[in-house]
Chains A and B, each alone.
Chain A
Amino acid sequence: MSASEPLLRVEDLRVEFHTGDGVVHAVDGITYEVHAGQTLGIVGESGSGKSVASMTTLGLTRNQGASISGRILFEGRDLVACSDEELRSVRGKDIAMVFQDPLSSLHPFFKVGAQLIEAVRTHQDVSKAKARERAVELLNLVGIPDASRRVDEFPHEFSGGMRQRAMIAMALANEPKLLIADEPTTALDVTVQAQVLALLERLQRELGMAIVIITHDLGVVAELADDVAVMYAGRIVETTSAEVLFSKPEHPYTWGLLKSLPTLEGSRREALVPIQGAPPSLINRPSGCHFHPRCPYSQPEHERIDPKLEPIAGEPNHHVACLLDSETRKRLWAQLSAGDTPEQAQAALGEAGGRP
């Protein structure tokens, strides 16, 4: 997070849903920034709140009866305080969004071209013919072959990768400053995923737009993101640059994620180290630190105290929400990267107590 004015700044955002089963605390006070031309990766699993947070940026959770508090500052304007009317002028224009499943996210009954044209004409006062030209131009931009013919086809006539490209094309219709991509490659094959990620990178270079990419795939984040925020149970537990996150992470959840992933590089024989337990319910969250029931290093008082997202001494761009002190964490990570299991790492530190 550099010194210049961020394009998007989310401040203490809270989103709650009142359901029959209780209050769902989907987003529990998160703060992050995105700078022009940069990519922020938001990593989290199901129930982390990552999708709700990004959809709230565009006000898409409003009609689901969400209670929203906090600020979302885009170019100085607070989107949370904006009326629906004002938000509509931002949606699809300054901020555009791409979703996970392009087959269900594109209207099955309208031609792809028609949907692109609609995106253009919503914000630009141009003739249908001009809009159609722009639609073909956009399809070419995202690398869809034979664009002038494809523009009259229906979504189900496109392959999975092409559909996602078409969604991206639609998002770019009005040259947005910020593109939010919610799990854009999760539903795609790995070679197609590589193509789409390369496309996003190229587009960012050519158009200079900022990207927020939301995913559960750490590999995707490592490929594409400059900065990363890790979310758990509605909160950001760690945020820093991608390089630092993968080399010197300082939150037990991040460690757990990194150690439980099978990769192409690591040893084949080494057992995966899963994170015990399951993601918590967002209605009845664990008290204190939300991660403490699953954390191998938690102490009794972690049940009572809420960790705050704070910078690490000496690393102003690295924020962590953890009650352990930085010294301890660095040592634990050193043990873990040397191949210890969490139990072994804990033991090596000679800590008394803590949960196995």
Chain B
Amino acid sequence: MARYIIRRLLWGVALLIIVSAVTFVMFRVFPTADPAKLRAGRLQDPKVIAAIRNDLGLNKPILTQFWIYMKGIFLHFDLGYSYYSTAPVKTLIFDRVWATVSLVLGGAVVWLVSGLAVGIVSARKPRSFLDRFSMGGALVLVSAPEYWLGLLVLYAFAADIGQVKIFPGAGSYVGLTSDPVKWFTSLILPWLVVAASNAAVYARLMRGSLIETMSEDYIRTARAKGLTERRVVLRHGVRGAINPILTILGLDIGVLLGSAILVETVFDIPGIGRLNYDAITHSDFPIVQGTVLIAALFIVVANIVVDIAYAYLDPRVRYS
């Protein structure tokens, strides 16, 4: 098992190196415009542009540039400097990352709990009214655009503009450390929105996977032992059905961490997605490059975690 984990971690590092290299090519070699001008954003001040050219070492051979760039990332976690916001990209991102993480992980918890529960119940009574209703509802939620859903719940429940004033409205996010209660309540509506469409996907996944698992021989054995149906489904069935869910979960969380932009905008949460959006509108190249790297990091980490979780859940994987 330890060998398995170490191997996954090493692959993760190798992957990150490759991703950084690709990002370098994307952002420095491909653009036809002058990289220094791009990084200056909307500023166009020639002195700044010259300074950038110096900083980026644009006069040095490309491989030296590459080496400096990689050294910067891996040794100093230096993701560049935003001339537009006059701050290191690293700082800007790290300030914002916790909001995104809170949003996404919290949303994930909500969608997992609700999605899996609905999926399990639907699987137990296939083609029943409950099943058709949930799967139909799931279809609706998947089709609904997030921003629409976001505006809808704000309209319904926000403390400032809503019909039924329960939850804090947009823009009320605070960090966990400053005010835990406010942090929590301000995230409830965003969590519901993030969870809505994803819960639907997971419900369908769980339903399918569980229906298949329940026809396995070991379920028959579990029943033959005299276990209650509840235990058979929840302990033997769900455990066997969880693998595809895990795969998708890793991908979903990984991707979402880098791109929860719609929800963050509607609810005015200062997260990375928002940062990225602002940077794009201001042509603030360094931040965009930084967020790309961070997004890649999230996906790689999420997949490593999923792989390790697999090995924990399915002992047969450990020996491959």
Contact = CB atoms under 8 A, between A and B. Distances in A.
Direct contact, A vs B (beta carbon within 8 Å)? yes
A165 interface: no
Nearest to B237: A107
B4 interface: no
Given A99-B221, A107-B236, A122 B227 contact: yes
Nearest to B218: A107
A61 B224 CA distance: 11
B225 A105 contact: no
B217 A99 contact: yes
A170 B221 CA distance: 10
A123 B222 CA distance: 13
Interface centre among B217, B220, B221, B316 (most CB of A within 10 A): B221
B225 A118 contact: yes
Interface string B183-224: 000000000000000000000000000000000111011111
Given A109-B239, A109-B314, A104 B226 contact: no
Contacts of B236: 107
Interface string A166-193: 0100100000000000000000000000
Contacts of A104: 216-218
B225 A109 contact: no
B280 interface: no
Nearest to A156: B316
B225 A154 contact: no
Interface in A88-104: 88-93, 96-97, 99, 101, 104
A109 B226 contact: no
B134 to A, nearest CB: 21
Contacts of A110: 239
Contact of A91 (B216, B225, B313, B316): B225
Contacts of A93: 226
A154 B311 CA distance: 13
Nearest to A62: B223
B59 interface: no
Contacts of B239: 107, 109-110
A91 B228 contact: no
A53 interface: no
B315 A156 contact: yes
Contact of A92 (B218, B226, B313): B226
Interface in B291-318: 313-316
B290 interface: no
Nearest to B312: A109
Nearest to B221: A105
Nearest to A100: B217
B217 A109 contact: no
Contact of A96 (B224, B228, B240): B224
A107 B222 contact: yes
A30 interface: no
A55 B220 CA distance: 10
A58 B225 CA distance: 10
A60 interface: yes
Contacts of A60: 220, 223-224
B229 interface: yes
Contacts of B314: 108-109
Given A107-B240, A109-B240, A91 B315 contact: no
Contacts of A105: 217-218, 220-221
A237 interface: no
Nearest to A64: B215
B226 to A, nearest CB: 4
A89 B315 contact: no
Contacts of A133: none
B315 A108 contact: yes
Given A99-B220, A106-B218, A154 B226 contact: no
Interface of A: 55, 58, 60, 84, 88-93, 96-97, 99, 101, 104-110, 118-119, 122-123, 154, 156, 167, 170
Given A58-B223, A108-B315, A154-B316, 4 more contacts: A88-B227, A91-B223, A105-B217, A122-B226
12 contacts: A58-B224, A60-B220, A88-B227, A91-B224, A92-B224, A96-B224, A106-B221, A107-B236, A107-B240, A109-B314, A156-B315, A170-B221
Q: Top 4 closest A-B pairs, CB basis?
A: A92-B226, A91-B226, A92-B225, A104-B217
